[in-house]
């Protein structure tokens, strides 16, 4: 591999840079020249042709110095001090980004770890924000969501318990605040929310809730096709009607209206 640094340092001399800064620039430019040299070799040029073409980038005794003067002015901006005129803090950002990519390419192991760390951090933040956005920020997907409330019964023993039917009827009879109420099962009780479906496909355990007939009326929503529960279809012995979720309808019936009935 050709040695580029001596020639670069010789051409940097007119800048009178600090030794540490001169070494840093020489390292970066040497990497640039080596990359160019390898590109020329890959394109089919002989070693001597690739070298002479690459060294042309340093042609002229003062070209390198003139090219780097504005770079140095931007790279070493005076620190901001109150009372002094403001400067463009984004000047030189493109150069900094290029330099950062050059350094990352020189250390593939570190680059892989950095990218993985960033990916995990961004992914975790995206997931957390998605949950917060859907639960706390976005309104419920119903008409007048601010008027919806969810009530449940608690006891002195740890945990929540399903609302007793008799208690619910008492609440309903004494209600003077809510325009409509409807009882439904809590999904976190597996025994109350797990059902099995069977048909042409393999039987499948599905999540479900049991509701009163006025459940959808309370939420003020209508199905995409078909109807919701009619009055009396929540009575014992008559509770054989179901309303499919959109996802279930798409997965098992390909969105066909023939699923009705």
186 CB-near residues (< 8 Å, 6+ apart): 152, 160, 162, 192, 193
pLDDT for 60: 53
- Tell me, yes or no, whether 135 lies in a domain: no
> How far is CA 44 from each of CA 32, 38, 50, 203, 208, rounded to the nearest angstrom?
19, 10, 9, 64, 67
Instruction: Please name which of 183, 182, 249, 246 lies closest in space to residue 220, comparing C-alpha atoms.
Output: 182
Q: What is the mean pLDDT of the chain?
A: 77
Percent of the chain with pLDDT over 90: 7
What mean pLDDT is predicted for residues 23-47? 83
Q: When comparing pLDDT for 226 and 7, which is higher? A: 226
- Tell me, yes or no, whether 104 lies in a domain: no
Most confident region among 106-110, 162-166, 256-260 by mean pLDDT: 256-260
pLDDT for 188: 43
* Residue 175 DSSP one-character state: -
Percent of the chain with pLDDT over 70: 76
Q: Are residues 170 and 241 located together in one domain of the fold?
A: yes
- Among 41, 66, 83, the domain-final residue is 83
- Tell me, yes or no, whether 198 lies in a domain: yes
Q: When comparing pLDDT for 103 and 218, which is higher? A: 218
Q: Are residues 154 and 254 located together in one domain of the fold?
A: yes
- Tell me, yes or no, whether 107 lies in a domain: no
Containing structural domain, residue 182: 145-259
pLDDT band (50, 70, 90) for residue 2: confident
pLDDT in tens, 207-220: 888 888 999 998 88
pLDDT band (50, 70, 90) for residue 191: very low
Instruction: Please name which of 229, 249, 251, 227 lies closest in space to residue 240, comparing C-alpha atoms.
Output: 229
pLDDT in tens, 131-158: 888 777 777 778 888 888 888 777 766 6
pLDDT in tens, 63-86: 455 555 555 544 444 454 555 555
- Tell me, yes or no, whether 211 lies in a domain: yes
Counting beta carbons within 10 angstroms of the beta carbon of residue 249, is it exposed (0 to 12), middle (13 to 18) or buried (19 or more)? buried
pLDDT band (50, 70, 90) for residue 174: very high
Q: Are residues 150 and 238 located together in one domain of the fold?
A: yes
pLDDT for 160: 58
pLDDT in tens, 50-59: 888 887 766 6
What mean pLDDT is predicted for residues 20-33? 80
- Among 33, 64, 83, the domain-final residue is 83
Counting beta carbons within 10 angstroms of the beta carbon of residue 11, is it exposed (0 to 12), middle (13 to 18) or buried (19 or more)? buried
- Tell me, yes or no, whether 151 lies in a domain: yes
- Tell me, yes or no, whether 125 lies in a domain: no
Number of domains in the chain: 2
pLDDT exceeds cutoff 50 at 230: yes
* Residue 251 DSSP one-character state: H
- Tell me, yes or no, whether 133 lies in a domain: no
- When mean pLDDT is compared across 37-51, 114-128, 190-204, 239-253, the lowest value belongs to 190-204
pLDDT exceeds cutoff 80 at 164: no
Q: Are residues 162 and 75 located together in one domain of the fold?
A: no
Q: Are residues 253 and 180 located together in one domain of the fold?
A: yes
- Among 66, 83, 100, the domain-final residue is 83
pLDDT for 137: 78
């Amino acid at each position: 591999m050709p040695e580029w640094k001596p020639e670069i340092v010789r051409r940097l001399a007119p800048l009178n840079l600090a030794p540490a800064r001169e070494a840093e620039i020489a390292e970066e430019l040497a990497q640039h020249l080596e990359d160019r040299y390898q590109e020329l070799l890959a394109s089919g040029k002989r070693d001597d042709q690739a070298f002479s073409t690459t060294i042309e980038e340093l042609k002229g005794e003062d070209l390198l110095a003139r090219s780097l003067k504005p770079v140095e002015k931007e790279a070493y901006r005076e620190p901001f001090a109150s009372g002094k005129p403001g400067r463009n803090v984004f000047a030189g950002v493109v150069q900094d980004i290029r330099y950062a990519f050059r350094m990352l390419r020189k250390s593939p192991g570190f680059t892989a770890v950095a990218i993985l760390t960033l990916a995990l951090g961004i992914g975790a933040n995206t997931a957390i924000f998605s949950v917060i956005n859907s639960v706390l920020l976005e309104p419920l997907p119903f008409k007048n969501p601010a008027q919806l409330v969810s009530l449940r019964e608690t006891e002195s023993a740890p945990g929540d318990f399903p609302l007793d039917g008799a208690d619910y009827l008492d609440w309903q009879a004494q209600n003077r605040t809510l325009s409509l109420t409807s009882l439904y099962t809590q999904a976190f009780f597996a025994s109350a929310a797990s059902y099995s479906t069977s048909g042409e496909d393999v039987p499948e355990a599905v999540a479900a809730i049991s509701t009163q007939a006025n459940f959808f009326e309370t939420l003020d929503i209508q199905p995409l096709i078909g109807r919701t529960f009619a009055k009396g279809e929540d009575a014992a012995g008559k509770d054989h009607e179901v309303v499919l979720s959109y996802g279930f309808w798409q997965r098992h019936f390909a969105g066909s209206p023939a699923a009705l009935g």
